[in-house]
Structure 1
Amino acid sequence: MRDLLNDLEAQKYLSDPDPIRRAQSQMKTQLPKRFYKDVSVAAVEEGFAVHLDGKPVRTPGKAILALPTEKAAGLVAEEFAAQAEKIDPSTMPVYRLANTAIDGVMTDLQAVRDDIAKFASSDLLCYRADAPVALVEHQVQAWDPVLDWARSALGAHLVLAQGVIHVEQPRRAMDAVREHLALRREPLRLAAMHLMTTLTGSALLAIAVEAGAIDAETAWSAAHVDEDWQAEQWGQDSEAMARRAYRKRDMMAAARLLEAF
C-alpha cells in the first residue's frame, strides 16, 4: 500500500522533491496544453466536483474527481484555474492528493491507517541526540509538547531512545494510536495524514496537525530541527533547500485540504 500511495502522490515523479529528477521527468513527459477556459465547482451525488468547461474532471483511474465539501473542491479548482498554457501537475498538490485518495486510499482505508501506525512505532520524535547540548535542547522544545499531547489526548505514552537504535514502543501506546486512526474514515483525510507523515517522518506530527493540536508550520519546523541545526553550523545547501521547499508546498497543501472539511 505504501508503494501505491507513494506512486500516486508523486504522479510518476511529476512532483519529485529533487528538482533535477523532476526536470528530467518533465522533459520526457510532454505536458498537455490547457484545453479549457472556465473552471467551476458543481454539486454532484458524490459531493462536489471540479468542472472544466462544464465537464467533470476525472482521476487517472477514471473516477469523477468529487470532494466532500465545496471548499475542498474549490482548492482543486483554484489549481486548475492557475494553470497557464500547459497543465503542470507538479504545481497542483491538492489535485494530486485528491487523486491519491480516490484511486488509492478509498480502496483500502485500513491499510493506510496501518501504514501511518508503522511510522508511529519508530517515530522521529522518539529518537534523540545525546549531544551537543544545543541540539538536544532544540529537540526537547520542539518535540516534547507533541509527545505530551499524544500522552494526554490519545493515551499514547511513547518511550524515547538516543541515537538510531530501534526501541520497541509499548503495545498500549500503539493501540492508542491505532484507535485514534480508526476513527478517521474519510479517504481524503487519511490521504492528507499519510502524506504529512511521509514528508515529516512522524505520524505524531501528522496526527497532531489533523487534530488541530498544532498547525502545519509548527509541525514542519519540528520535523526539521536536526536539519536546521546542521545548517546553522555548516551553512545551507541550495539543492537541499529547493527540495525542502517543494516538500513543504505539498505539506501545506495537505493541511489546507484538512482545513477545508
Structure 2
Amino acid sequence: MRRRRAPRRGSEAGPAGADAGAVSRPAPAAGAPGAADTATAASARAMKRFYKETAVEPAGNGFRVLLDGKPMRTPAKAILVLPTKSLAEAIAAEWHGVPDKAEINAAHLPLTRLAATGLDRVVPRREEIIVDTAKYAGSDLLCYRATTPESLVKLQHDAWQPLLDWAEERYGARLLVASGITFVDQPEAAMGHLRDAVAAHTDLALSALYNLTHTSGSLVIALAVAEGRLTSEGASAAAQVDELYQVERWGDDPLAVKHRDGVAKDIDAGTRFLALLERERLRG
C-alpha cells in the first residue's frame, strides 16, 4: 500500500484562497497571455499571436520586454521590468517562440508567469508569502519516511538525508525525521532559520522559490535549487522518490507519466528562473 505523505499545514485562505488545511500560495497568473492597450503578460481570455517582433530594452535599473515596440505588462497592468538582461531575453524568447497566429498558451510561458506573479502577487503581500512558504518546513517531504519495504526506506534515506544534512550545515536548521504516518513538530529554531532563508530572497526570486516548494512538497529541495545545491533533474528526482519507486515496482500508467512530466517542467522553470536572476536572487 502506498505511503501517505504528511499533512500540509497552513492558513485557511492564502493569497490564492486555498482550501482549509492546505498551505496557501500565491495564485498563478490567470488565464492565457493576451493583450490590452499594451502587450499584457496574461489575461482571462485565450488569444492568438497578435505581434510580429519581440525585443528587450533597458528600463531604469532593469530591462523590459517589448512586443512590436510596446512594453509587456502584468495582469495588474504594471510594466514587466526584469532585473537582469538574461531573464528579460529568456522571457522575450518565450513569446518569440509562439508560432504565427497560434493560440497563446500560458503553460508555454512559465518564466513570464513567474515574473508576473512576483510583481503582482508577491510585492504587495511579501510577508504573507514568506510565512506561507516557510510553513512548508513544518511538514517537509524529506522528513517523512516509509517504514517498509527496506528498499524504499534506503532510497528515501539516500536521496533525502544528504539534503537535510546540507540544510543543517547551511542554515543551522536541524529538521527532525519521522517514520510512518506520525507527524513531528519541528524545532522552533530550525523553522526560524529557514524562514530567514526564505526572507532573504527578492520578490521575483520568492515567486520561483514558492512555486518550487509547492511543486516539490519540500522547502529544503527548493532552497537547494536556489543555492545551486541541486540541479533541475536532481530536484525532480528527489521530489518523486516514492513515485519512481512505484513505477519500478508496479509499472507505469499514462496519468502517472503526465503528472511526473508536469512536476519536472515546473521544477525546471523555477530552476531556470532563479539562474537567470543571477546575482539579483538575494536582497541587499
Q: Same fold per TM (> 0.5)?
A: yes
Residue number among 168, 177, 190 corresponding to 1:160 in the alignment: 177
Identity %: 40
CA–CA separation in structure 1 for the residues paired with 2:116 and 2:61: 14
Alignment match, 1:47: 62
2-structure distance, mates of 1:56, 1:30: 19
Aligned match of 2:232 in 213, 216, 234? 216
State the partner residue of 2:262: 246
Residue-by-residue CA offset, 1:155-176 (whole Å, 9 max, x unaligned): 0011110123211001111111
Deviations 1:207-230 (A, max 9, x none): 111011222211110010001111
Q: Aligned to 1:9, what secondary structure does the other structure show?
A: coil
Quote the residue 2:21 is aligned against: none
Residue type of the alignment partner of 2:251: G
Q: Deviations over 1:54-105 (max 9, x none)?
A: 1001111100011110001111111100111221111111111111101101
Counterpart position of 1:3: 16
Shift of 1:30: 5.7
User: 1:81 maps to which residue?
Assistant: 96
Offset at residue 240 of structure 1 (A): 2.0
Ranges in structure 1 where 5+ consecutive residues have no aligned partner: 16-28
Give the deviation of 1:2 after TM superposition. 4.3
- State the alpha-carbon separation in 1 of the partners of residues 109 and 262 from structure 2: 11
State the SS of the aligned residue for 1:214.
coil
The alignment's TM-score, normalised by the length of structure 2, stands at 0.82
Separation in structure 1 between the aligned mates of residue 131 and residue 29 of structure 2, nearest angstrom? 20
Question: Is the 8 Å Cα contact of residues 11 and 96 (structure 1) preserved in structure 2?
Answer: no
Task: Count the aligned residue pairs.
Answer: 246
**Residues 1-261 of structure 1: matches in 2 within 5 Å?**
1-3=14-16, 8-9=27-28, 11-12=30-31, 31-45=46-60, 47-84=62-99, 85=101, 86-184=103-201, 186-261=202-277
- The structural deviation recorded for 1:7 is 6.5
Deviations 1:4-48 (A, max 9, x none): 685632635x69xxxxxxxxxxxxx86312111110111112511
Q: TM-score, normalised by structure 1?
A: 0.89
Q: Which has the higher helix share?
A: 1
Post-superposition offset of 1:205: 0.3
Q: What code does the residue aligned with 2:266 have?
A: D
Q: Counterparts of 1:81 and 1:182 in 2: how far apart (Å)?
A: 34
Aligned-partner residue type, residue 195 of structure 1: N
**2:235–2:267 contact (8 Å) kept in structure 1:** no
After superposing the two structures, state which structure 1 stretch, 208-217 or 2-11, moved more.
2-11
CA separation of 1:109 and 1:168: change in aligned 2, threshold 3 A? same
Equivalence for 1:23:
none
Aligned 8 A contact 2:226 2:274 in 1: yes
Contact 1:8 1:96 in 2 (8 A): no
Amino acid at match of 1:9: P
Query: Residue 148 of structure 2: SS of its match in structure 1?
Result: coil
1:2–1:115 Cα contact (<8 Å) kept = no
Decide whether the 8 Å contact of 1:8 with 1:99 is kept in 2. no
Contact 1:209 1:219 in 2 (8 A): yes
For the 8 Å contact 2:137–2:220, the answer to whether it is kept is: yes
Q: What are the ranges of 5 or more consecutive residues in structure 2 without an aligned counterpart?
A: 1-13, 18-23, 34-43, 278-284
Q: Which has the higher contact order (CA 8 A, sep 6+)?
A: 1
